[in-house]
Structure formats: C-alpha cells, structure tokens
Amino acid sequence: MKTILAVLLLTVSAYGQPLKLDPDVFAKRRHAFIEKMEPGSVALFASKPEYDRNLDVKYEYRQESNFYYLSGFEEPESILLLAPSHPRFKYVLFLRKRDPRRETWEGPRSGTEGARTVFHADTAFVIEDFDSHIWDFSNNDGALYYGFGVNPEIDGKIKSLFVDGRSGRNKAILDPATVVDEMRLVKNEGDWSMGLKKAIDISVEAHNEAFKAIRPGIYEYEVQALFEYVYRKNGSPRNAYPCIIGSGQNATILHYETNTRQMQRGELVLMDCAAEYGGYAADITRTVPVSGTFTKEQKEIYRIVLDAQNAGMKMVKPGATLGVISAAIDTVLAEGLLRLGLIKSSNDRRLFSLHGYSHWIGLEVHDVGGYTRKGKEITLEPGMVFTIEPGLYIRPAVFDLMKERGYSDGEIGQIRARAEPYLNIGVRIEDDILVTPEGYRNLSEGVPRGISEVEAQMKRR
C-alpha cells in the first residue's frame, strides 16, 4: 500500500505562493474606521502578547485580528494608534526596536523604518516611548477607542494613563469593536484579495485529497497530517482551528481533537478541518465512509443531514435571516428523525442535532459581527459569509437525556431498539456560503456532498 505522502506527491496542486500584502487595502480600512470615530477622538489597538509553551519555547504567534485588519502588521509588543485630528500623523505604530542580537535568533524585525516604508505608517516609535509620545496625539477633549482584554500589560498602561487619574487626563473609553465588527461583517474586495477565498480553496483541495486517502486501517492522525501537508504546500501557515478527525464513535463528539484512533471498515469518519490564509479562516466539514461505500443506515442519516443543508441553502438571499435558515433545517431534521422513530416530537430534534447551524467566518473561524441589531435579528446582505452546518449524532448517551425530557422507560426501550443499527453514526456537513445580490454562492462546493459523489471521489484512490 502506498503511503499517504506518496499519494500526495502524485495528486496535490502546484506549490502555492506566500501572500503579498496590499497596503491600499489596509489604508482603506483605516480610513473607513476613522470616518466612524467621534470628533477629536483617538483609537488604540494592542497586539496580542506572546505566550510561553514551556521553559524556553513560545506558542506560535498570531496577531490580534482587529490590529491585523487595520494594518497587516504581525509583530508582538506593538500598538496601533489612529489620530484623525493630528495635522500630520494620523496612523502611527509603536513597535519593538531593531536588535541585531535578538534578530540573529528570531529573525528580522520591521523597526520604525520598516513601519513607515513597508506598512505605510505616517510615523513610528519604539514601544518604550509610548507613554511620552501618546500625548502628542491625544488631547483632553475627545474619547479614546480601546478594547480591554487583548493584552494585560498594555491594558495596565492604558488604565494608568487614561482611567485612574494618575495622568490627570482621563478619557471616555469606547470599544472599537462596535465599529470594526460591523466593518468585518460584510466582506469586500480587500477581504478576497487578502486571503479569504484562498483559505477556502486550499481547504477544498485538502478535503478532496483526504477523500482519496481514507481506507480501513489508517489512523486519524494520518489524515490530519495529510490536511496539514496540503495547507503548507499551498502557502497556508497554520490551521484555522484544531483539526477534527473523528472516526467511529468519535464522529459523535462535536469538538473531538485527539485524532489517535485507527479507522475500521464499515465506519464513518467526520472531518472538520480548514486552513488559514492571510489571517482568514475557512470552515468545512465532510463525513465519509471509511470503506468507500455508505451502509444502508449511514445513508439514511446522511441523507437527512444533506437534505437539511440543502433546505437551509435554498433560504439564503438578501433580506433573509439565519433564523429562517435554521428553521428550514430544523424542519427537515425533525421529519427525518420522526420517520426513523428516534423521537416522538419534532421539538426533541435537539437530542440528536446538538448545535447551531451557522456562524460568520472571516479573520476568525467564528467571526465577529452581531447576530442582532436593536433587538432584531440581522438580515443578510450581499458580502456576508457564513457557514451552514447541520449535523446528527446518534450516541448512547442520548437515552439518559430522553429520560430527563419525560420519555417513559417503555418509550426509551422502543427507541433504543430502533436506534441500535444507527448507534455511533455521526454526520455533519458544513459549507462556506457567500450572500450575493441574486441569492448565494457555495464557496466550498468543490468538495463533494452527495452520496454518489462522495463515493466516486473516494474511489479515485
């Protein structure tokens, strides 16, 4: 049997290229944010701190998303300042100073010159000088936009300077997320050029390669390795989230991440895996038969989930809501479970479906942006991107929950007998959906969903 790596070398696409940042994209975002700021105000964004993994190893660094969204700058120990009222310097970066000794070990730093020439800051200072230079940009009248909770060290600095009275220049503090979240909710050309579609395309390729590699006897972690190989080969620096490869009973665990089990003939494997590219996250899930062909019972559960997802997709259009989409999915799932005799009321569908069916995606896999405005559910607009991901999980623990919901012992016994052929079947199907003026586009449609299409792709081993 050929190894997965050997299969990959024959099948994956040409090497991807690293992302090239477009300064104009970030400039337009900063301008849009500044247009929404209160007169005379300034905005500060803190970088994420670095975290120690163990004694002298740190976790891989990823910049705070709003900081990155407005600048493209990815170094730690930095602060982004926007000062629209300043006559010359409206975009300022405070960052680490150049240090040849440290750069020999860790790689080059941008320094103040790089901040100006590469990231187009109007001016830049080393972060040690923040306390003194901040007063060049902040007067006593306007508010301060700052989101606490990103970086404890910088939080303390901001609290000391602007909140607790030590400086004598206290300010009203406004959360910039109220502005940036709305900006990030509706995607535009900058989001596509900076990586969102590429993240999805890489993830689509990885899923298709996984289809062709899965077979009885391989381990879940081998499939994870395949996904991550395709990601890196195509320029993705990291996973969008921990890879879920759940075979057999593990498919019924929603956020299973151990990925150590050996797959057996006749089982399903649920793969919830996606790449990050340019800071953007995809989110795709497929469930496939380890042997390459669905059993009768697997087909029945799979078809219910697929029909539910299709029903949800048909509801997507400008002016619709995620609630309308969820209601359509709920109806199909309930009808399918009732038909199989696994529930006695449509209201009990949640015994087997467990989770919500949609969330925004973007720089976060569960991206920012509210789901309500002024107490009413948000209506969909062209440019919004979200998932549709129904699932059913037939697990033994459900019978204990039925007792809590008032099912009698006799009813539970009958359902248990009917459920026996379906136990440990877990199915989730998830796609990334773009709202268009005419309706929607399934951005991850390149990964097969239909039963015959899935089986055909798996036969291309």
Q: Which of 15, 35, 52, 56 is catalytic?
A: 56
The residue among 139, 192, 201, 146 whose CA lies nearest residue 170 is 139
Q: What is the 3-state secondary structure (H, E, C) of the chain?
A: CCCHHHHHHHHCCCCCCCCCCCHHHHHHHHHHHHHCCCCCCEEEEECCCCCEEECCEECCCCCCHHHHHHHCCCCCCCEEEECCCCCCCCEEEEECCCCHHHHHHHCCCCHHHHHHHCCCCCEEEEHHHHHHHHHHCCCCCCCEECCCCCCHHHHHHHHHHHCCCCCCCCCCEECCHHHHHHHHHECCHHHHHCCHHHHHHHHHHHHHHHHHHCCCCCEHHHHHHHHHHHHHHCCCCEECCCCEEEEHHHHHCCCCCCCCCECCCCCEEEEECCEEECCEECCCEEEEECCCCCCHHHHHHHHHHHHHHHHHHHCCCCCCEHHHHHHHHHHHHHHHHHHHCCCCCHHHHHHHHCCCCCCECCCCCCCCCCCEECCEECECCCCEEEEECCEEEECCCHHHHHHHCCCCHHHHHHHHHHHHHHCCEEEECEEEEEECCCCEEECCCCCCCCHHHHHHHHCCC
Q: Which amino acid is at 438?
A: E
Residues 27 and 197: their CA atoms lie apart, in Å, by 21
| The one catalytic residue among 77, 201, 222, 389 | 389
Catalytic annotation, pick one of 86, 96, 395, 428: 428
31 in catalytic set: no
Is 366 marked active-site?
A: yes
Residues 6+ apart with CB under 8 A from 420: none
Choosing from 102, 255, 265, 418, the catalytic residue is 255
Q: Which of 265, 355, 418, 441 is catalytic?
A: 355
389 catalytic? Reply is yes
Cα gap 152→392, rounded to integer Å: 41
Dihedral of CA atoms 10, 11, 15, 20 in degrees, nearest 10, equals -170
283 catalytic per annotation: yes
CA distance 187 to 102: 38
Q: Which of 359, 407, 432, 440 is catalytic?
A: 359
Respond yes or no: is residue 453 known to be catalytic. Answer: no
Catalytic residue flag (residue 122): no
Tell me, yes or no, if 359 is annotated catalytic. yes
Can you read off the two tokens belonging to residue 109?
């730093």
Please tell me which residue in 267, 272, 330, 364 is annotated as part of the active site: 272
Q: Spot the catalytic one: 430, 431, 440, 449.
A: 430
Annotated catalytic residue, options 74, 267, 283, 348: 283
Q: Which residues are catalytic?
A: 56, 255, 272, 283, 355, 359, 366, 389, 393, 428, 430
